[in-house]
Structure 1
């Protein structure tokens, strides 16, 4: 989604679907920005494109150094498969990935298909998948995912139920490939659930602030969310499993106030910039 905010406080939502982010659309936005310098483009299309591919979306997390931030953040081991489903079992073995694996479509284009996930429990079922896709090692995380919403400088964390842990005994009884619902709609919020504190405790605030700051800088985006899990049995080891552009902010507590303050801060910043430029001449 793309927003333009003018210095006259006119807010317009510009044809928001990811499907519209083709080369021609990007060129239209760039041309408009050059012709109307008074308009602020929040998140440029070329930056948004980075999150349309699950191979590139997590790249900014891989080499992050978040030392002295009360925790560690990484990404699950994964491989990208672009063709020949019959070769998937071999590619998985070659990469040393351990079952079960979460299969995700490579491209995130806003369609229902791009959010259709599967969990594969054995080698044979891997050949049933349809490339292009990403295969990601399943990390036990206590059945809780942290949805970290970023709106400019604001950070809001919401706990949601996710997929349950898998033990060795469970895996010996399960085979095949199973579809899973979108994590964001898997179950209701877990904020008020009676959960073990070692599972339910939010990631440390300093860690989230550092992570959000680094991703804002690396991605060049201000409106996104991070799907984050804590490795089960640890307190400070976290994994980013997805980054989504302009997620369902309606599920974020107090989103009306957060967005209003964000938009007002942009207008005020634009006004100060305009005033400074005028006073310089």
Structure 2
């Protein structure tokens, strides 16, 4: 992986759900459009996406650029047998039902030449917040300009009355962020709550994950992975919690999804200084992101995902991964249509080379 474009410094448009402050793109050498068009056959991408994902991802700019490069997107009808549709070179999907996963696995067994983005069993790994961060916990990136950790967390599957005792036994430090255990593709799966005192923990609704809250200066880094391309974007996040907050707040508070919601400084309740100078906050170092992207692609077996990462307040190189999401809102990134088109062209070129070599 190497740097593909210099740091961008622009705000996203009205369709962007988060407040992007700046971004940097890292990628391998890309296949030129002319070369790909001349040497690779036309690429047919079948997609099975929700209406919301179709609207946010298959934007006119992407469709136009793809068409110019010989790539066509074809909607998959889930009511019809997949074997009766196509033929496809690539299947792009984000449907969470067990029925669809089985259909896709059966289809890929019969048509191994079709690239499935991504394997359902690998995606399933990210749909549970207990297993989601397992591949991160033992990462050793200390030689790559930073330390990447995961927050201490506790999984609660039942009996909310036992939560205060379980938290005390685990030695977790308040406040705690409560997240649903299962990521089911709905807004409920992304609801967040902040618990300030142990007595209120029994008000929570399992199954859930409790993560220690880590002060991070109100800034979150969204690291997007598209194949071998990595783009990191600054986003506004939750404000830090100080001693005064802990002494003067009790109970459980629902948190706004400021990392992806329309987050102005006011919406996110940010310190005005954070909002004013967030663009000056240093991005994670390039070698660290390159190594992180390679490691997670290999460990997760995925090519389309993003990582939510924060830097602990008061440190220069200690980062925490707090979430990993499959096929996130790529349409919110500046220039995503070029990155995704190049990624598809690289798949076409690889397939064409295999065809010529007879493998």
SS class of match (2:343): helix
Report deviation, 1:196. 6.3
Q: Confirm or deny that 1:216 pairs with 2:291.
A: no
RMSD of the TM alignment (CA)? 2.2
Deviates more, 1:18-27 or 1:145-154: 18-27
- Is this contact kept in 1: 2:48–2:95, CA < 8 A? no
Deviations 1:205-248, CA, capped at 9 Å, x for gaps:
11111111111001100000000000000000000000001111
Partner of 2:290: helix, strand, or coil? helix
Relative to structure 1, the CA distance from residue 94 to residue 7 in structure 2 (aligned partners, 3 Å threshold; closer, same or farther) is farther
Deviation by residue 1:125-182 (Cα, 9 ceiling, x = unmatched):
1110000000000000000000011000111111111111111122111111100111
Superposed counterparts of 1:107-186, under 5 Å: 107-182=182-257, 183-185=259-261
| Conserved? CA contact 2:48–2:94, under 8 Å | no
CA contact (8 A) 1:7 1:39 kept: no
The residue that corresponds to 1:9 in the other structure is 43
- How many residue pairs get aligned? The number is 271
**Partner residue, 1:271:** 352
Find the aligned partners of 1:29 and 1:253 in 2 and give their Cα distance. 31
Does 1:187 pair with 2:268? Answer: no
The verdict on how the C-alpha distance between 1:241 and 1:186 changes in structure 2, with shifts beyond 3 A counting, is: farther
Q: Does the 8 Å CA contact 2:154/2:209 hold for their aligned counterparts?
A: yes
> In terms of mean alpha carbon deviation, does 46-55 or 17-26 score higher?
17-26
Equivalence for 1:67: 142
CA distance, structure 2, for counterparts of residue 7 and residue 27 of structure 1: 29
1:178–1:193: structure 2 CA closer, same or farther, 3 Å change rule? closer
**Closer, same or farther: CA 118–154 of 1 in aligned 2, 3 Å:** same
Measured in 2, the distance between the counterparts of 1:92 and 1:34 equals 45
CA distance in 1, matches of 2:328, 2:159: 32
TM-score between the two structures when normalised by the length of structure 1: 0.91
State the alpha-carbon separation in 1 of the partners of residues 245 and 201 from structure 2. 18
Contact (CA 8 Å) 1:160, 1:188: kept in 2 or not?
A: no
Q: Is the 8 A contact 2:312 2:318 kept in 1?
A: yes
Deviation (angstroms), 1:195? 1.9
Q: Is the 8 A contact 1:146 1:158 kept in 2?
A: yes
Q: Is the 8 A contact 1:230 1:236 kept in 2?
A: yes
The separation in 2 between residues aligned to 1:65 and 1:274, in whole angstroms, is 38
* Residues in 2 aligned to 1:113 and 1:193: alpha-carbon distance in whole angstroms: 28
Distance 2:152 2:350 in 1: 41
- The alpha-carbon deviation at position 65 of structure 1 amounts to 1.0
The runs of at least 4 aligned residues of structure 1 exceeding 6 Å deviation read none
Q: Is the 8 A contact 1:229 1:241 kept in 2?
A: yes
Note the residue ranges of structure 1 that are not aligned, 5 or more in a row. Answer: 1-5
Task: Give distance in 2, aligned partners of 1:20 and 1:11.
Answer: 16
Q: Which residue of 1 aligns with 2:282?
A: 201
Shift of the alpha carbon at 1:31?
1.8
Q: Cα–Cα, structure 1 residues 144 and 151, in superposed 2: closer, same or farther, change >3 Å? A: same
3-state secondary structure, aligned to 2:145: coil
Out of 166, 172, 176, which is 1:91 matched to? 166
Which blocks of at least 5 consecutive residues in structure 2 are unaligned? 1-39, 54-92
Deviation at 1:277, TM superposition (A): 0.9
Counterpart selection for 1:21 from 96, 101, 109: 96
